[in-house]
Amino acid sequence: MRTSVTHTLNNPKLFKQQLLKWSQQYREVEFLDSNDYHQNYSSFDAVLAADAITSVKTDFVRAFEDLSAYQQTTRDWLFGYLSYDLKNNTEALQSNNFDGLEFPDLFFFQPKKLFFIKGDTVEIAYLVMCDDELEDDFKEILSTAIDSVTDLPLTINQRISKEAYIEKTSKMLEHIHIGDIYEANFCMEFYAENAVISPLCKYQALNAISEPPFAAFFKNHKHYLLSASPERYIRKEEEKIISQPIKGTARRSTDPVEDEAIKLELTQNEKERSENIMIVDLVRNDLSRTAQKGSVSVEELCGAYTFKQVHHLISTVVSRLDSEFKPVDTIRTSFPMGSMTGAPKISAMQIIENLEETKRGLYSGAVGYFTPIGDFDFNVVIRSILYNEENKYVSFSVGSAITSKSIPEKEYEECLLKARAMRSVLE
């Protein structure tokens, strides 16, 4: 049971900053922020969950079974993440590459304290065991001072050199040309060792650059995720399932006429559209595994959307969940998301594992939440910084979709473009 109160906010933007800073006293924190980006599907502008009363942490073995049991037993709000390497739970796959971050493969917690921000109101929902703290906490948040911390700049290292990247993408193209795969997302890591950073300040700096609709700050003791993700992985609203893969990227221009021309060219670019359509087909297939017969459809194909840094092509695939399946089943049968793997999915993941040099971990996984009635919403962990405070290891990865039309040098340049925001925040 939770006790809820609603307050009107004079300055919602300031309140979000104060709330996030106030929350750092707790071991577990998850903050999700739409940055006022108007989406077709959303429940609130921002949500913060803090202070676990229960949690589940596991490696990939039986991970989805453990999560489903936890969700079915708790039937409360749950917040947490799914790492990319949960693929090893659902398929005969392995993750043997280097891992400097050492995050658990899966972590979810049931928060004592919840804040839902929508427009100029905040609903605060505390478990009854701590609801006597509710009003005092609200006053404390409003009096929290916002200060900035300046970290020492880091030296960022690149795990794969340009020459090695071109060699590896050329090998991936060989796989495509002989028919092993049609498309695969190939990623590389940037990292810093002996790194000491202020995670909250770095998150705010990263978020300010692009103000994306699926930003996330996640803290589990010494493990941090600072995410400026533009992409939704999957959402459940009652029996409706929504997946919105992004594939296709173009730069922005400061000249409005040129900017609109770039956006229009993106919608007509054969390579970018084919990347998107291949993943849409994959998502349709994934959703069909738990869908009511004939309910899978494409609501929007290759819609062009504008963000502060780039234009993207986004498609929306929907289905109706068959009543024989539990909420977690839809995630299990569609994970990892097609936009971060490739097609056919299993072959792509095998080739990715052989050519990449880093265990992806939480990168290209998902962060989100479950509601008490089993609805959920998860992003795709891209454009994100990961930090292990104990190991003093900072990491971010970027990738691009390799298809038969790919030119390795251009894919490398796309990766550097995607890395720019994280690099500038850390350096």
Catalytic residues: 231, 247
Confirm if 210 and 307 have CB atoms less than 8 A apart. yes
Query: Can you name the residues that pair with 192 across neighbouring β-strands?
Result: 394
What is the C-alpha radius of gyration for the chain, rounded to an integer number of angstroms?
21
Residue 347 contacts by C-beta under 8 Å, 6 or more apart in sequence? 180, 181
SS3 (DSSP) at 289 = coil
* 375-385 exposure pattern, b = at least 16 Cβ within 10 A, e = fewer: bbbbbbbbbbb
Task: Please report, for residues 306, 375, 418, the alpha-carbon distance to residue 210 in angstroms, rounded to integers and kept in the order given.
Answer: 11, 28, 11
State the SS3 of 351-396: HHHHHCCECCCCCCCEEEEECCCCCEEEECCCCEEEEECCCCEEEE
CA distance 364 to 382: 6
Report which of 219, 225, 226 is spatially closest to residue 28, judged by C-alpha positions: 219
Query: Can you name the residues that pair with 399 across neighbouring β-strands?
Result: 187
Q: Residue 26 corresponds to which tokens in the numbers above?
A: 């707790």
Q: Residue 234 corresponds to which tokens in the numbers above?
A: 């999957």
**CA 22, 150, 419, 267 torsion: positive or negative?**
positive
Strands (E), 137-193: 157-158, 183-192
CA distance 200 to 165: 32
Secondary structure (DSSP) of 212-281: -TEEEEEEETTEEEEEEE--EEEEEETTEEEEE-EEEEEE--SSHHHHHHHHHHHHH-HHHHHHHHHHHH
Residue found under tokens 């390795």: 408
Using a 10 angstrom Cβ sphere, with 0-12 exposed, 13-18 middle and 19 or more buried, the burial of residue 145 is exposed
Q: Residue 382 corresponds to which tokens in the numbers above?
A: 């891209």
Report which of 41, 373, 71, 377 is spatially closest to residue 236, judged by C-alpha positions: 377
